[in-house]
Copies of this chain bind each other. A is one copy, B any other.
Amino acid sequence: MYGYASTKDDLRSRLRKIEGQVRGLQRMVDEDKYCIDILTQVNSVTAALRAVGMGLLDDHVRHCVAESIATGEGDEKIEELMAAVGRFAGR
């Protein structure tokens, strides 16, 4: 059971919504919408994906990482977590 199990339905519905937004972007291209308007929508989909990523990180820390620390086996998990935070934060 991973950290996101409790929020699996929420995750699924966010991802379905993002999938719809990506289809919306394709429609905007098909209909020759103005570049800046498409870009605004790209930013909005990116923000939605980042929020999903942030939620995954959050659940991961509260469950997987916290549990492994509580049982004295946190070092490897913390290593992995901080590498993931670094990649997520873009550096």
Measured CA separation A46–B87 after assembly (Å): 12
A31-47 residues with Cβ-Cβ distance < 8 A to B are 32-36, 38-40, 42-43, 45-47
Give A residues with C-beta under 8 Å from B: 1-5, 8, 11-12, 15-16, 18-19, 22-23, 25-26, 29-30, 32-36, 38-40, 42-43, 45-47, 49-54, 56-62, 64, 66, 69-70, 72, 74, 78, 80-82, 84-91
State whether A49 touches B49 (Cβ < 8 A): yes
Which B residues are in CB contact (< 8 Å) with A2?
32-35
Measured CA separation A62–B81 after assembly (Å): 11
State whether B5 touches A32 (Cβ < 8 A): yes
